[in-house]
Amino acid sequence: MRLFDNRYEPHQRKYTLALSMIERGARIRTVTQWTGLSKYCVQNLTRSYGSKTRIPCNRGRSPSKPAYFLKSLDVARESVALAYIALQCQAIPAAVVPDARTSLPGIDRGERVMDAFEVYRALLPEGLISLEYAILLIIELAERSALILARCRSCHDVMVADRLALHQELCPLCRPPPRASLPARPTERPRALLRQQEFHEGVEEDNADSTRDGHDENDADREMARGHE
């Protein structure tokens, strides 16, 4: 009789990975894609799993816009840190993966992704990048169709760069601040705008009515004076 049986090890790894992803707020579809468990099984795990440190799961579709990692200086810094950790944990393949969205998810790669994300959160407990966005960053850097890792021309540090952007050779720390835009010139003069208001049309009508009433009163006085004569 064998004391140890490895037949159930793949199933145990699936459930362990699913629970760790649920703990970090992953969506049900994301958990099923990376673990291979059914939607019904993941839903039961989500309902039965209780933890005080669990991050609530967001509804809707998973994030898919890589522009999130370049929208601010803080997010850009944390994206570089997370990308470096993912490279060290071998969560990002060394070679380009054209169809990373479908071929990258799996038990082995999912465990490396979670190891990298746990290290990232240990270094930055209040980090701005969630697990869903961390998975998106790893997939984009594996495909290298929109986001790539490059060197800053000024400080030579690693940065996450948009491959489709033009003249992006400096990291967020070395880029000059954007110039303040001047207020737009009005397309029409204020007097022309005032003439379009409804109350001006009403005032003009009232003036016309009062003028017309004044002419009627003068005509009546003249007729009365002729009758007396």
**What is the percent of the chain where pLDDT is above 70?**
74
* pLDDT, mean of residues 109-116: 97
Residue 135: pLDDT band with limits 50, 70, 90? very high
pLDDT by residue (tens digit) across 36-71? 999 999 999 988 877 777 787 777 889 999 999 988
Q: Kindly provide the b/e burial profile for residues 122-153, where b requires at least 16 CB atoms within 10 angstroms of the residue's own CB.
A: eeeeebebbbbbbbbbbbbbbbbebbebbebe
pLDDT by residue (tens digit) across 149-180? 999 899 988 889 998 877 778 887 887 776 65
pLDDT at 201: 41
Question: Which positions ≥6 away from 155 have C-beta within 8 Å?
Answer: 171, 173, 174
pTM: 0.72
